[in-house]
């Protein structure tokens, strides 16, 4: 039998039940617990382990089967032998060893309680203690009267013996026995709270007299939330009054135990209410039900969902948003006075609590309404009054105030109505919430950023299943499900800049199920499954292919929405977002409008107005028929097809956009590359190419990315440039990037550079020792000398030859050099590119240079920690960070695949492409009516070009973004340029001012705007490096957690509204 559970390691020890609950309470956490009992050990273990692993503070439950409950172990055994499942765990038949192994499946992170319903529980307690379990429940009254025919005269002594023995045997095994009274339930419904509280306290007193020093007192949710909170308050006070001080105790609430709502939404509302009552009433633990309860036994997954939901709601109930009063705020006088009178009358009957209970029932001092047990007097009735409170209709012989029973007796029709009251009220409220207007969220922009939010919305909706219908609109003016940059109809020669195996959009890996929000393939995995010619995870996908993957992703996101959530695709441009009638109104360029509760603005790359030099060049082009200016934009949006073959074209910029332009005008026009037999490429022109002359400040095309040698889930762990160090530095106020941040970042880069060189020659162990030695010395002497320390350490390890790694030199290799003419410069550039290709082929793990530069990518999150939200002084942000580091890091650490550089060499050799030189100057020449380009450092480099392409992606600048939406939001004071608080001047990058997560815009008055979120490129400046169009497989990156933070906040609104009808229903 035990083999089925598998090995769970050495048997552990259960946490003490009461201590566990006390610790949770001290941390303001409600312990939540399912009802759960499986026949087989493996299933029971799986259930407990799922409860232990859930995202909630839980206690586990083993519920006993009904044969064992009535001491019929023979029938339980027969059923087991015949392979028939029982309705619970037959703890006696399975025996202590198997039971202990089952409990081991929790890792003993949570305590496990045995629930049984037995009027004579001795055999169950014995089996529990033998298995190392010490928490159970029940009571001489609560498990006798409602369900059993056993007389109290038999049940009471049986419970005395069993409880005493339980306390003693548990103690002998070093455990503290814990018993929970079941007296707070009594038939599940229609027993007025004062009697429930009285029986619960009396059973606790009974347990204490039997030697228990750890008890919990139960109360079951009834018909009225505030009355329930009153009852919990009275229960706690009476426990204080009647339990000996040395008996540790807590209060446990049961989610409604009567007739359960038949609709999911009604059941959910009732469950939600119980969590709020528990927290507000001061219960430390809650035993939950699931929405499936009305129809069948819930599955483990349904139980976990309910536990996690209730845990979330419990946290919510501690906030001011919960409309229920706290226990200290309610007047619990009525419940307290009645319960107190009952307890006193019972205890006055006999010094022994067990005997006192028997005498009390015999005399009708305790009389449970509608209880048919022959020891119950049966003269009392409960009823639901016009306020929804549970009150007395008849009190029989109970010592209760006469006014308590001034109500008409209950008829059969009224009884039916009362039995169904709670279920029907919640079904109605649920239907109301469901049928109300849907909760609407608009995502403006369906590039990767916007789609990621849609995915997290879908994943959260599937998990949280809010009552209220949710409608998500995904809006894009270019292509819904891809966006402008990744649209699927673009030239196939435009490639991504990240290897496809490193790219994913899904917030979790694929599993056995279909691709859906939270689980799906990486770009590489998807590509492999759709294309027999898939070139492998280290290849670079065309952007159009990524666009198709994004479309597949959106389909998967839509498919996993729960039934009451929908996703609309809106192909239109949003031109205005305005607050109107308690919601946001989105004006569409096509003439329509959308009304929404929340708006996610993920509008991506702007097409900014030209300014200064660009504007002059454009104006010149417009005025001269022989000159044509093509503005900076995504290459896919440039009118490149209109450029005449053989014409001369100047290209401004040598970055990623440059590579795209070159590809479109060469291979995009039918040219091909073939191997030249010497390890390089040869270009075979189509004859339709123009003649390209390119230049930039550095004069160097962006270097290649190292061949990827890291697994997708590989993560770099910094030694020197750590989040902890940056967090500590930031405590001292705004930082100076050059003096405070850069030395540690550079130190990290140098460390990896030299250590990788050591590994390349002497292996990983030597690398480790080199790293340790250099790290220790740098930490001791400071980061300023890191380069020297790392170099000297590597030399001690026998590696002395690497060139120094100087990032400024890498970015500006031609600074201060002059060339006699284009030939000398081209020869020098060719050598430089060949060297870079060689370095890139060594890879990003084993090649010292590319491994070191990869650090700049790997620690991007830590850089953000230093920089974002005013981390730097305004001056340093402008001068050191935006002016120097940001372009340098993009240039060195975000390059194209190495093939692109090989192609450049071939194009230069074929005479299709020339690089003009460093410090390139692009000018308008009125004499020729065309543009000129030259390099002051290269003699005789001047060329005349009919066309000038600006191959630089425009930066974010609110002031120069002519998009109608940006204009409107800026004019309305909702979008305001981020301003550095340190000097009140613009910090240099003109993005939108936003809060930290969930990234609300900060308006002109300095207040966060509720209901709006801004994500990605529009926030560049306040946040750094937002142009991230995907995440990596493996643990979440900032890309996914950004989207999730917005999704969580956006959905909080849907949940709030769904709770209101329930509250109103309860309070009426």
Partner 1 sequence: MSREIRKKRIVLSTVSSDSHTWNLVFLQLLLEELGYEVVNLGSCVPDEVLVEAVRTHAPDSVVISSVNGHGHIDGLRVITALRADRNPAVAGVPVMIGGKLGIRGAADSGLADELLAAGFNAVFTEGADPDEFTRELARLASADGLALSEGIAA
Residues that bind partner 1 (CB under 8 A): 146-149, 187, 370-374, 410-412, 415-416, 419
In this complex, which beta carbon is closest to partner 1, that of residue 28 or of residue 372?
372
CA angle 415/417/422 to nearest 5° reads 115
Q: How far is the CB of 333 from partner 1 (least distance, A)?
A: 30
* Torsion of the alpha carbons at 263, 266, 272 and 273, rounded to the nearest 10: -140
In this complex, which beta carbon is closest to partner 1, that of residue 417 or of residue 679?
417
Alpha-carbon distance of 10 to 516, in angstroms, equals 38
C-alpha distances out from residue 601 to 80, 443, 1000, Å: 60, 6, 10
Alpha-carbon distance of 793 to 780, in angstroms, equals 14
In this complex, which beta carbon is closest to partner 1, that of residue 371 or of residue 1047?
371
What residues does 442 pair with on adjacent strands? 473, 599
Q: Which two tokens stand for residue 253?
A: 């609430």
SS3 content of the chain, % helix, strand, coil (to 5): 45, 15, 40
Q: How far is the CB of 1042 from partner 1 (least distance, A)?
A: 51
Q: Which two tokens stand for residue 654?
A: 């040598």
Alpha-carbon distance of 15 to 18, in angstroms, equals 9
Q: How far is the CB of 402 from partner 1 (least distance, A)?
A: 24
In this complex, which beta carbon is closest to partner 1, that of residue 150 or of residue 901?
150
Q: How far is the CB of 186 from partner 1 (least distance, A)?
A: 12
304: left (phi over 0), alpha (psi -120 to 50) or beta: alpha
- Let me know if 413 is exposed, middle or buried by CB neighbors in 10 A (0-12, 13-18, 19+): exposed
657, 976 in Cβ contact below 8 A? no
In this complex, which beta carbon is closest to partner 1, that of residue 362 or of residue 419?
419
In this complex, which beta carbon is closest to partner 1, that of residue 368 or of residue 872?
368
Q: How far is the CB of 87 from partner 1 (least distance, A)?
A: 11
* Torsion of the alpha carbons at 863, 866, 867 and 869, rounded to the nearest 10: 130
End-to-end CA distance of the chain: 54
Q: How far is the CB of 422 from partner 1 (least distance, A)?
A: 13
Of 703, 672, 676, 705, which is closest to residue 687 (Cα–Cα)?
Answer: 672
DSSP labels, 311-366: HHHHHHHTSTT--SPPGGGS--HHHHHHHHHHHHHHHHT-SSHHHHHHHHHHHTSS
Alpha-carbon distance of 844 to 493, in angstroms, equals 25
Q: How far is the CB of 69 from partner 1 (least distance, A)?
A: 10
In this complex, which beta carbon is closest to partner 1, that of residue 87 or of residue 355?
87
In this complex, which beta carbon is closest to partner 1, that of residue 66 or of residue 696?
66
In this complex, which beta carbon is closest to partner 1, that of residue 90 or of residue 430?
90
190: left (phi over 0), alpha (psi -120 to 50) or beta: left
In this complex, which beta carbon is closest to partner 1, that of residue 372 or of residue 623?
372
Q: How far is the CB of 408 from partner 1 (least distance, A)?
A: 13
Q: Which residues of 735-762 are buried (b: 16+ CB within 10 A; e: fewer)?
A: bbbeebbbbbbbbbbbbbbbbbbbbbee
In this complex, which beta carbon is closest to partner 1, that of residue 413 or of residue 642?
413
What residues does 1031 pair with on adjacent strands? 504
In this complex, which beta carbon is closest to partner 1, that of residue 209 or of residue 414?
414
Q: How far is the CB of 217 from partner 1 (least distance, A)?
A: 24
In this complex, which beta carbon is closest to partner 1, that of residue 416 or of residue 622?
416
Who's near 773: CB < 8 A, 6+ residues apart?
793, 796
Q: How far is the CB of 372 from partner 1 (least distance, A)?
A: 4
Q: How far is the CB of 367 from partner 1 (least distance, A)?
A: 14
Who's near 1034: CB < 8 A, 6+ residues apart?
712, 713, 714, 715
Q: How far is the CB of 124 from partner 1 (least distance, A)?
A: 18
Q: How far is the CB of 62 from partner 1 (least distance, A)?
A: 21
Q: How far is the CB of 149 from partner 1 (least distance, A)?
A: 6
DSSP labels, 607-621: -PPP-HHHHHHHHHH
In this complex, which beta carbon is closest to partner 1, that of residue 258 or of residue 314?
258
C-alpha distances out from residue 795 to 95, 788, 801, 1067, Å: 67, 10, 8, 79
Q: What is the chain's length?
A: 1068
């Amino acid at each position: 039998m035990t083999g089925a559970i598998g090995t769970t390691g050495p048997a552990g020890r259960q946490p003490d039940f009461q201590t566990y609950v006390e610790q949770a309470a001290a941390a303001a956490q409600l312990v939540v617990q399912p009802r759960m009992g499986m026949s087989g050990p493996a299933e029971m273990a799986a259930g407990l382990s799922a409860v232990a692993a859930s995202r909630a503070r839980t206690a586990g439950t083993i519920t006993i089967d009904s044969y064992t409950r009535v001491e019929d172990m023979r029938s339980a055994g027969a059923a087991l032998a015949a392979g028939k499942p029982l309705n619970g765990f037959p703890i006696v038949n399975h025996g202590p060893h198997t039971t202990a192994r089952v409990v081991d499946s929790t890792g003993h992170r949570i305590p496990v309680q045995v629930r049984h319903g037995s009027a004579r529980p001795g055999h169950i307690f014995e089996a529990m203690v033998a298995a190392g379990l010490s928490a159970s429940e029940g009571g001489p009254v609560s498990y006798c009267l409602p369900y059993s025919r056993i007389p109290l005269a038999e049940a009471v002594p049986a419970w005395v013996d069993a409880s005493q023995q339980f306390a003693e045997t548990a103690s002998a095994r070093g455990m503290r026995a814990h018993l929970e009274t079941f007296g707070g339930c009594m038939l599940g419904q229609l027993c007025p709270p004062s009697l429930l509280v009285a029986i619960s306290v009396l059973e606790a007193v009974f347990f204490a007299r039997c030697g228990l020093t750890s008890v919990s007192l139960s109360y079951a949710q009834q018909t009225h939330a505030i009355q329930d909170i009153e009852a919990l308050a009275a229960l706690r006070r009476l426990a204080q009054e009647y339990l000996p001080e040395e008996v540790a105790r807590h209060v446990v609430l049961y989610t409604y135990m009567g007739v359960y709502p038949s609709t999911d939404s009604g059941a959910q509302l009732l469950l939600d209410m119980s969590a709020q009552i528990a927290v507000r009433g001061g219960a430390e633990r809650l035993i939950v039900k699931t929405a499936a309860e009305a129809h069948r036994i819930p599955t483990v997954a349904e139980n976990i969902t309910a536990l996690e939901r209730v845990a979330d709601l419990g946290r919510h109930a501690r906030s001011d948003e919960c409309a229920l009063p706290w226990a200290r705020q309610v007047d619990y006088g009525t419940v307290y006075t009645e319960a107190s009178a009952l307890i006193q009358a019972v205890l006055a009957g006999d010094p022994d609590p067990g005997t006192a209970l028997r005498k009390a029932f015999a005399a009708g001092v305790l009389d449970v309404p509608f209880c048919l047990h022959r020891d119950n007097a049966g003269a009392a009735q409960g009823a639901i009054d016009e306020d929804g409170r549970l009150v007395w209709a008849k009190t029989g012989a109970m010592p209760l105030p006469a006014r308590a029973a001034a109500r008409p007796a209950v008829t059969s029709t009224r009884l039916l109505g009362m039995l169904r009251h709670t279920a029907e009220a919640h079904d109605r409220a649920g239907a109301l919430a469901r049928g109300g207007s849907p909760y609407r969220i608009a995502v403006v922009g369906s590039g990767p950023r916007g789609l990621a939010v849609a995915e997290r919305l879908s994943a959260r909706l599937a998990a949280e299943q809010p009552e209220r219908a949710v409608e998500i609109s995904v809006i894009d003016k270019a292509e819904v499900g891809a966006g402008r940059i990744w649209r699927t109809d673009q030239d196939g020669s435009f490639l991504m800049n990240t290897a496809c195996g490193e790219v994913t959009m899904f917030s979790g890996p694929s599993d056995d199920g279909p691709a859906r929000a939270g689980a799906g393939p990486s770009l590489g995995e998807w590509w492999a499954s759709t294309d027999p010619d898939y070139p492998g995870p280290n290849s670079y996908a065309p952007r159009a292919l990524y666009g198709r993957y994004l479309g597949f992703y959106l389909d998967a996101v839509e498919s996993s929405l729960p039934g009451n959530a929908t996703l609309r695709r809106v192909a239109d441009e949003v031109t205005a977002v305005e607050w109107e009638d308690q919601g946001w109104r989105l004006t569409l360029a096509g003439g329509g409008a959308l009304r929404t509760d929340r708006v996610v603005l993920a509008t991506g790359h702007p097409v900014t107005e030209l300014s200064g030099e660009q504007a002059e060049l454009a104006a010149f082009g417009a005025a001269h028929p022989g000159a044509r200016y093509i503005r900076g934009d995504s290459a896919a949006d440039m009118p490149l097809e209109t450029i005449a073959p053989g014409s001369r074209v100047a290209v401004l910029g040598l970055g990623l956009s440059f590579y795209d332009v070159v590809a479109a005008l060469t291979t995009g026009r039918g040219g091909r590359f073939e191997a030249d037999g010497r390890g390089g490429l040869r270009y075979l022109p189509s004859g339709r190419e123009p003649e390209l002359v390119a230049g930039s400040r550095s004069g160097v095309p962006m270097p290649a990315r190292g061949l990827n040698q890291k697994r997708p889930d590989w993560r770099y762990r910094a030694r020197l440039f750590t989040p902890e160090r940056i967090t500590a530095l930031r405590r001292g106020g705004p930082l100076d990037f050059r003096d405070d941040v850069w030395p540690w970042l550079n130190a990290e880069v140098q460390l990896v550079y030299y250590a990788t060189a050591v590994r390349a020659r002497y292996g990983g162990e030597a690398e480790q020792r080199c790293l340790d030695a250099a790290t220790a010395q740098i930490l001791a002497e400071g980061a300023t000398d890191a380069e020297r320390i790392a170099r000297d350490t590597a030399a001690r390890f026998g590696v002395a030859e690497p060139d120094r790694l100087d990032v400024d030199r890498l970015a500006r290799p031609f600074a201060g050099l002059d060339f006699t003419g284009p030939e000398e410069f081209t020869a020098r550039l060719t050598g430089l590119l060949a060297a870079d290709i060689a370095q890139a082929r060594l890879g990003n793990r084993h090649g010292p240079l590319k491994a070191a530069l990869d650090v700049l990518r790997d620690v991007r999150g830590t850089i953000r920690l230093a920089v974002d939200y005013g981390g730097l002084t305004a001056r340093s942000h402008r001068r050191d960070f935006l002016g120097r580091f940001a372009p340098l890091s993009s240039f060195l650490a975000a390059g194209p695949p190495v093939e692109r550089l090989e192609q450049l060499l071939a194009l230069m050799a074929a005479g299709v492409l020339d690089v003009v030189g460093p410090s390139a100057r692009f000018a308008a020449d009125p004499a020729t009516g065309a543009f000129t380009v030259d390099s002051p450092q290269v003699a005789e480099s001047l060329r005349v070009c009919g066309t000038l392409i600006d191959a630089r992606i425009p930066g974010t600048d609110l002031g120069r973004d002519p998009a109608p939406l940006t204009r409107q939001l800026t004019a309305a004071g909702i979008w305001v340029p981020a301003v550095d608080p340190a000097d009140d001047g613009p910090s240099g990058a003109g993005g939108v001012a936003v809060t930290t997560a969930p990234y609300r815009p900060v308006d002109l008055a300095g207040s966060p705007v509720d209901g709006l979120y801004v994500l990605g490129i529009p926030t560049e400046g306040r946040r750094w490096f937002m142009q991230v169009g995907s995440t990596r497989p493996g643990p979440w990156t900032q890309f996914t957690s950004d989207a999730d933070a917005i999704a969580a906040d956006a959905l909080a609104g849907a949940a709030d509204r769904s709770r209101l009808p329930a509250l109103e229903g309860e309070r009426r």
